[in-house]
Structures are given as structure tokens and as C-alpha cells.
């Protein structure tokens, strides 16, 4: 498939200078497309950018103000549409937790581009023609299901569009059709494993090789756990509906950070307080500009996701930079008695412990004037029948290790398997009784 002048293989291995030249070309086109929308016409009015000619270098992107989720809501329903409506062949929308949805329109060319990015992403993880791809992400307005579907077909995989839920049927499909590759949220992978025995299956029934896991933050420990439980490789996949959906960044078989497809996405990271750009290697909020979409251009989108750009070349030979696993969303950060805590830090500690089961929930509430953090987690049923001292010692270990990492002394509640609510879509890991749910 041609990308302007490049083939896929080539575009992934361009030297940085050639890549930047391609980005500049595409940025100019994108700015010109954006200026045809009511939203950006207004937004760019005071910036001195009236046409693509005003973009001379990639650094000129800094003259463009950031775009936020609220801006997308404000532009609902047609403020960011840059083609005639009859050119649009698909839309995706996200409702978020409250209020007006955000909507993204795709032309056929946009879908073709997204499909190509997906083919590249899948190939990076070793997927190939002949693989059987069971897609356990929800099909619908959410981009997780349909987002990888077309790329998987184009690569020649046998696609099982199972969608999410119905765990019993998932196992049956996995067994009968010899699924090699699962696409699911990491929390659903853990749930799947926890039901396997009870539903009468064992690993010997399957032909699994890999899982592509994403759509929600998860720690390296969770990846490791999924790999160990299923005896497969698990690859991290990142994306967001504003930037199409999955296939923005994907791990390759080296599993050392996610390659972000820079020919399609211009990457910046910024300090979330000053909003100034930070250097590669420094953690910041990811800001993305989509360089190859005609239906809905979005410039300098503040993702709220915290990550670090890794500039070092990857041994796989792809030259696009990588990002580290997402630490969390800036709006997921809990402030507990004045200390900033990301749920991922707690996950990191508990998921390292072999006794801990596959589900957990963090609760925060006020006790008098103080905040109280309680970690609820499931542990193996045998711990409840053996000596109670084992439970006591596990609780103490969790408390000590969490305190060592985040300086807060948590309460810990251990439960039998199946006690906590099942996580089928994006997992809800925090209940903040002080007034927020994450």
C-alpha cells in the first residue's frame, strides 16, 4: 500500500530526516483541511495561520493552540467535519461519563489508512496470515472491536468477531476454532483465566500464542501475569477514539515500549501544569496530531495520558519512536491526604505477589478529616481454609510494600475469588467515595 511515496516497510524504517519531511508535508495538508472546519477556522483566527503556507517547519505546530475533549464536545455534532457529509462512511462516538458525546467522522480513505496502520501494528506483534484472531473487544461505537477487525482481515487472519462478554462462548470458540490471538482488555484476560477451570477447560484445550491487550492502563506486572497464566506473549496496544482508536501505538516483539506510528501521528509530550513541551525521556502528557485523516482533523490533542517518549532506536529496526506504557490519565490521579497516587502504582505492588488473584478495587473515603485508602483484592480460595496466619501475613506484606512505594498506609481487605465485581469493558479500579469515580 502506498503512503504518499512510501511502501509500509519503508515508512517504518525511514531515517529521522526523511520521516520529518514526510510529517511536515502531512502537517501542512492537515492544517489546510482543519481550516475548512468551522471549529478550527475560529480557533486558528488569532494565530496568524490562515493557510498551509504559514507552516514552514514542524516547530510551527507550536503556534497552534491545544485541542481538548471539551473542545470536541463544543464542536458537536458537525463543527469538526471537513468534508461533505456524503463523503463520510463511518462515525464513532464516545459518550464519556457525562454530557455531550464526541464524534469522529471517517471517509473511506481514512478507514483505509487506519486499516493499514492496523496491519502494521498486528505484523509488529508477529501476527500473520493463518493466525486465528478472536476479537473480544466490544463492537459498536467504541473503537476497540471494529478498530482492529479490518486490519486483521486484510492481513489474512481468520477473524472471529466474538465481541466482549459471554465467557463460556469465548472458551468454546477458542477451542473449536484453534484461536491463536486474542484481542481483549487486560482485565478481561484475567477474568477469562479465573473462569477457565470452572467452565471445564484447561490450557491444553487451546492453541493460544499471543494476546493483544489495551484500552486501559495496566502495569508490567499484569502483562507478566497474563503471559505466565496463559503461557503466551502479551503485547500492549494503545489508542484513543479521537485518533481513530487502536493502532496509534503498539509493541513489537521486542516488548520494550510501544512504537507510535509517527508518519500518521505527530507526537509531543508536555508538562501538565505549565503546558510547555518536555524533552524526550521526560514524563509528560501525550499530545497528538493526526496527520492522515480527512473527515475530522484534530490538531495537538491533549490526551491526558502520561507517558515518556523513548528516543533510542529499537532493535526491531523500526525508526518510529516508542512511548513507555501509560502510567495513567492525569484525571485518574488520586490525591490522598495530599499525596499524589496513581492506581497503577498500587497495581504494580499487588500483582507481583503470587497469592493475589485476578481482580482488585481501590476505595477511598473520608474518615473524619482524613482520607482513607482501602485495597480490596481477591486471593486464592485455599488461603481461606489454611492457617489464618497466612492471610494476616499477606495483608501485612501488601501494607508494607504499598507504604514503601507511595508513603500512604493503606487498609487491606482480602476476599475469596468471585467476590469483586466482574470487569467486562474498561475496568473500573477506583471507587472514590469522596465524590469521584474513575
In the complex, the residues that contact ligand DLL under the rule CB under 6 A are 94, 137, 142-144, 147, 214-217, 236-241, 245-246, 303, 305, 326, 329
Shortest spacing between CB 195 and ligand DLL, in angstroms: 22
**Residue closer to ligand DLL, measured from CB, 230 or 238:** 238
131 burial via Cβ count (<10 Å: 0-12, 13-18, 19+): buried
**Residue closer to ligand DLL, measured from CB, 31 or 115:** 115
**Residue closer to ligand DLL, measured from CB, 131 or 305:** 305
Alpha-carbon 353 to chain mean position: 25
State the cell numbers at 191: 477474568
**H or E segment to which residue 42 belongs:** helix 38-43
Shortest spacing between CB 247 and ligand DLL, in angstroms: 8
**H or E segment to which residue 360 belongs:** strand 356-367
Whether 381 and 358 have beta carbons less than 8 Å apart is answered as no
**Residue closer to ligand DLL, measured from CB, 33 or 236:** 236
How many angstroms separate the CA atoms of 188 and 55, rounded? 44
**Residue closer to ligand DLL, measured from CB, 10 or 254:** 254
With a CB cutoff of 8 Å and minimum separation 6, the contacts of 56 are none
Phi and psi torsions of 231, nearest 5°: 55, 55
Shortest spacing between CB 316 and ligand DLL, in angstroms: 19
Shortest-Cβ-distance residue relative to ligand DLL: 214
**Residue closer to ligand DLL, measured from CB, 27 or 137:** 137
How many angstroms separate the CA atoms of 67 and 70, rounded? 8
Shortest spacing between CB 109 and ligand DLL, in angstroms: 21
Shortest spacing between CB 50 and ligand DLL, in angstroms: 31
**Residue closer to ligand DLL, measured from CB, 18 or 91:** 91
User: Considering just the CA atoms, what is the radius of gyration of the chain in Å?
Assistant: 22
Supply the DSSP symbol for 425. Answer: S
Angle, in degrees to the nearest 10, between helices 220-230 and 186-196: 30
- The residues with which 266 forms a beta bridge, in sequence order, are 289
SS3 290: strand
Shortest spacing between CB 74 and ligand DLL, in angstroms: 18
**Residue closer to ligand DLL, measured from CB, 236 or 289:** 236
SS3 178: coil
Shortest spacing between CB 332 and ligand DLL, in angstroms: 8
Whether 208 and 187 have beta carbons less than 8 Å apart is answered as no
**Residue closer to ligand DLL, measured from CB, 239 or 295:** 239
Whether 35 and 64 have beta carbons less than 8 Å apart is answered as no
Shortest spacing between CB 255 and ligand DLL, in angstroms: 13
Pick from 361, 358, 378: nearest CA to 438: 361
**Residue closer to ligand DLL, measured from CB, 246 or 284:** 246
Shortest spacing between CB 85 and ligand DLL, in angstroms: 23
With a CB cutoff of 8 Å and minimum separation 6, the contacts of 359 are 187, 190, 191, 194, 377, 378, 420, 422, 423
Shortest spacing between CB 266 and ligand DLL, in angstroms: 17
Whether 237 and 251 have beta carbons less than 8 Å apart is answered as yes
Phi and psi torsions of 412, nearest 5°: -130, 130
**Residue closer to ligand DLL, measured from CB, 240 or 350:** 240
Other CB atoms within 10 Å distance of the CB of residue 136 = 27
Shortest spacing between CB 240 and ligand DLL, in angstroms: 4
Phi and psi torsions of 437, nearest 5°: -120, 135
Amino acid at each position: 500500500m502506498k503512503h504518499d511515496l512510501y511502501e509500509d516497510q519503508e515508512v517504518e524504517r525511514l531515517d529521522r530526516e526523511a520521516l520529518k519531511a514526510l510529517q511536515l508535508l502531512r502537517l501542512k495538508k492537515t492544517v489546510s483541511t482543519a481550516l475548512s472546519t468551522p471549529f478550527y477556522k475560529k480557533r486558528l483566527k488569532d494565530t496568524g495561520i490562515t493557510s498551509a503556507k504559514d507552516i514552514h517547519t514542524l516547530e510551527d505546530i507550536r503556534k497552534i493552540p491545544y485541542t481538548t475533549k471539551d473542545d470536541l464536545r463544543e464542536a458537536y455534532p458537525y463543527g469538526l467535519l471537513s468534508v461533505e457529509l456524503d463523503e463520510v462512511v463511518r462515525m464513532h462516538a464516545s459518550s464519556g461519563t457525562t454530557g455531550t458525546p464526541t464524534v469522529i467522522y471517517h471517509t473511506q480513505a481514512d478507514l483505509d489508512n487506519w486499516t493499514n496502520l492496523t496491519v502494521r501494528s498486528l505484523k509488529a506483534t508477529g501476527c500473520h496470515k493463518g493466525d486465528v484472531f478472536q476479537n473480544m473487544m466490544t463492537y459498536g461505537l467504541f473503537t476497540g472491536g471494529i478498530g482492529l477487525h479490518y486490519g486483521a482481515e486484510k492481513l489474512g487472519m481468520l477473524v472471529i468477531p466474538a465481541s466482549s462478554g459471554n465467557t463460556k462462548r469465548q472458551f468454546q470458540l477458542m477451542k473449536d476454532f484453534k484461536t491463536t490471538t486474542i484481542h481483549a482488555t487486560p482485565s478481561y484476560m484475567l477474568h477469562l483465566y479465573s473462569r477457565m477451570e470452572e467452565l471445564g477447560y484447561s490450557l491444553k484445550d487451546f492453541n493460544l500464542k499471543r494476546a493483544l491487550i489495551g484500552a486501559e492502563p495496566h502495569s508490567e506486572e499484569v502483562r507478566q501475569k497474563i503471559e505466565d497464566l496463559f503461557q503466551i506473549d502479551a503485547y500492549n496496544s494503545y489508542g484513543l477514539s479521537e485518533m481513530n482508536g487502536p493502532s496509534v501505538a503498539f509493541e513489537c516483539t521486542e516488548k520494550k515500549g510501544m512504537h507510535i506510528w509517527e508518519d500518521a501521528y505527530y507526537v509531543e509530550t508536555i508538562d501538565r501544569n505549565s503546558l510547555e513541551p518536555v524533552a524526550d525521556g521526560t514524563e509528560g502528557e501525550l499530545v497528538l496530531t493526526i496527520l492522515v485523516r480527512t473527515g475530522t482533523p484534530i490538531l495537538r490533542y491533549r490526551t491526558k495520558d502520561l507517558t515518556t517518549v523513548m528516543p533510542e532506536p529499537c532493535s526491531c529496526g523500526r525508526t518510529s519512536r516508542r512511548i513507555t506504557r501509560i502510567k495513567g490519565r492525569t484525571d485518574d490521579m488520586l490525591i490522598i491526604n495530599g499525596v499524589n497516587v496513581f492506581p497503577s502504582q498500587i497495581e504494580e505492588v499487588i500483582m507481583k505477589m503470587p497469592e493475589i488473584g485476578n481482580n482488585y478495587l481501590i476505595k477511598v473515603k473520608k474518615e473524619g478529616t482524613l482520607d482513607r485508602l482501602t485495597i480490596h483484592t481477591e486471593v486464592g480460595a485455599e488461603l481461606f481454609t489454611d492457617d489464618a496466619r497466612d492471610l494476616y501475613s499477606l495483608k501485612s506484606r501488601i501494607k508494607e510494600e504499598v507504604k514503601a512505594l507511595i508513603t500512604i498506609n493503606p487498609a487491606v481487605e482480602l476476599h475469596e475469588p468471585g467476590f469483586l465485581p466482574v470487569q467486562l469493558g474498561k475496568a473500573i479500579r477506583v471507587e472514590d467515595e469522596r465524590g469521584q469515580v474513575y
